[in-house]
Chain A
């Protein structure tokens, strides 16, 4: 049981970090970022290139993932989403754009990094073992702790800095924020960059454990969607809750339902449907946010 809980926590911390970026972008611009999973894969490959191929320390790889993805996110917002949002009749059009970007990033990743599964050497050796009741490699613990620290850092950023306050205002009411003198364009761009940065960071963190390959983008996006549906789209606490809940459910499901075959996600989806029938906006979402 302790093992299941620990696994769930570890998974949940990563998931929450992915969902945070997605929900941030969604709350600021009402854009469902299909390319989020691809951004995550891209971040993983950047860390892989820096650490495994150039032989630099892991932290350099992580930082360069974050920086590259943040710049990428800012450019995508400025040159792609902003003009399309301004011109199109229905705001769903951004979904086509996001899907196009997802394909584009897939193609870029394929051309730049190839299709092979890549990983970096373990950053810490050894396994934590508590009476055989709880076994966890140290690198997983480190990554889990780093992920939680990043989540805390992100919340602090949103709560206590000027940029964070501006973004929260934007998420609440774009028009009102603009009337209060918030530079909407600038903070949309910062928000998108921050969301992409988070995706890149998770990619960089996870490449040390699970490795990374081209095909991971889509499934990651789908998991992130599930998390923000559980928690409620566009709400930061919801994304964190959703991430941890999905992590726990996956961890428990994989253990308890293993005898029935690979039906964990089927069960999770069925329970999600029942849940949404009672609470369509998720745990903490605004109705029809």
Chain B
């Protein structure tokens, strides 16, 4: 336990102190954008991971990221909400929608669930194109930067527009949200509902037969998962200050799933590591120019052949567990 605490402290130190210091020292400001994206995508993958935890393959996170983004964008531009208010609203909206969609589709399992969530991603994109409120293919642009957030007159977060360096601000915001999400995730996994979820993953009928309310747990987990997706989408919109129907497409949904796989499905921090490795790896491979995708996918295939249970399964073997 002590070792874990040291590890967490080191991680927090690295994320909130060392990275900004290192970037300021080297002048690689562009890395902020990459790292912010990693943090946000990691939030989305945390949700996907949670659905994996109940034994469902979720390839629909892109749909909720897109919905969350649109909710935030529409509320800010049309209803004049502040960004900070739209953040939880976007998450809640996605959670609400996911309950409606989840009630029928969570009865599906395995490949069936995977396929319908993938279809959901595509349909969300089409809906964003067709609905009047989303402004179609033109998207919603020139969304204001997040304003200041103050509680009882004390300004907690200054206005992003007046910040000397909004990139740093966004990075800290995303990193803080990511850490928060993973704390929540860790808490869920190590709670009674978390253990019940694990029983769902192993055998749903058996779990139901000993009195676990499987239907309720499934929908609840899926709603939390979609909440994460919406949250990530909303922050993305704030950063890029625009959203289009193609902002989150099928490829993004598939990527969310891949991040989880690469990190390892058996570990809470798996999706975070997977996101970091894949996203950063993709960026680094841009030196390969037109062979970027070829090298990337070959590495991915090679990794599956060598480590089919995810990167973190490396530590398993060291620990001698199996």
- Which A residues are closer than 8 A to B by beta carbons? 26, 30, 32, 34, 80, 83-84, 87-90, 92-93, 95-97, 99-101, 103-104, 106-108, 110-111, 218-219, 222, 225-226, 228-229, 233, 261-263, 265-266, 269, 272-274, 276-277, 280-282, 288
Contact = CB atoms under 8 A, between A and B. Distances in A.
A96 B305 contact: no
B126 A104 contact: no
Contacts of B254: 34, 99
Contacts of B120: 269
Contacts of A280: 107-108, 112
Given A89-B266, A92-B52, 19 more contacts: A30-B111, A32-B111, A32-B114, A80-B304, A84-B304, A90-B309, A93-B309, A95-B57, A97-B301, A103-B296, A103-B297, A111-B290, A222-B118, A222-B122, A262-B129, A265-B122, A272-B116, A277-B104, A288-B109
A211 B103 CA distance: 40
Given A93-B304, A104-B297, A229 B250 contact: no
B309 A229 contact: no
Contacts of B110: 288
Given A101-B301, A103-B300, A263-B130, A110 B108 contact: no
Contacts, number: 134
A32 B301 contact: no
A107 B305 contact: no
Given A107-B293, A218-B250, A90 B265 contact: yes
A272 B117 CA distance: 12
Contacts of A228: 115
A104 B294 contact: yes
Interface of B: 52, 57, 101, 103-105, 107-112, 114-116, 118-120, 122-123, 126-127, 129-130, 250-251, 254, 257-258, 261-262, 265-266, 290-291, 293-294, 296-298, 300-301, 304-305, 308-309
Contacts of A111: 290-291, 294
12 contacts: A26-B111, A32-B111, A80-B305, A84-B304, A84-B308, A93-B304, A103-B300, A104-B300, A225-B119, A265-B126, A276-B116, A277-B104
Contact of B258 (A84, A89, A96): A96
B257 A99 contact: yes
Contacts of B297: 100-101, 103-104, 106-107
A266 B124 CA distance: 8
A266 B130 CA distance: 9
Contacts of A100: 258, 297, 300-301, 304
B119 A222 contact: yes
A262 B137 CA distance: 12
A150 to B, nearest CB: 24
A250 to B, nearest CB: 13
A80 B306 CA distance: 11
B226 to A, nearest CB: 16
B251 A88 contact: no
B304 A266 contact: no
Contacts of A266: 123, 126-127, 130
Contacts of B308: 84, 87-89, 93
A96 B130 contact: no
Nearest to A262: B130
Given A32-B115, A277-B107, A96 B304 contact: yes
Nearest to A224: B115
Contacts of B105: 273, 276-277
A93 B261 contact: yes
A242 B109 CA distance: 19
A272 B250 CA distance: 19
A173 B296 CA distance: 36
B219 to A, nearest CB: 13
B267 to A, nearest CB: 13
A218 B114 CA distance: 15
B258 A99 contact: yes
A272 B297 CA distance: 33
A219 B122 contact: yes
A261 to B, nearest CB: 5
Contacts of A265: 122-123, 126
B104 A229 contact: no
B93 to A, nearest CB: 18
A265 B121 CA distance: 12
Contacts of A269: 119-120, 123
Contacts of B104: 273-274, 276-277
B116 A229 contact: yes
Contact of A110 (B52, B250, B293, B296): B293
Given A104-B298, A262-B126, A265-B122, A225 B115 contact: yes
B122 A88 contact: no
Contacts of A229: 112, 115-116, 119
A215 B315 CA distance: 39
A266 B126 CA distance: 7
Contacts of B294: 104, 107-108, 111
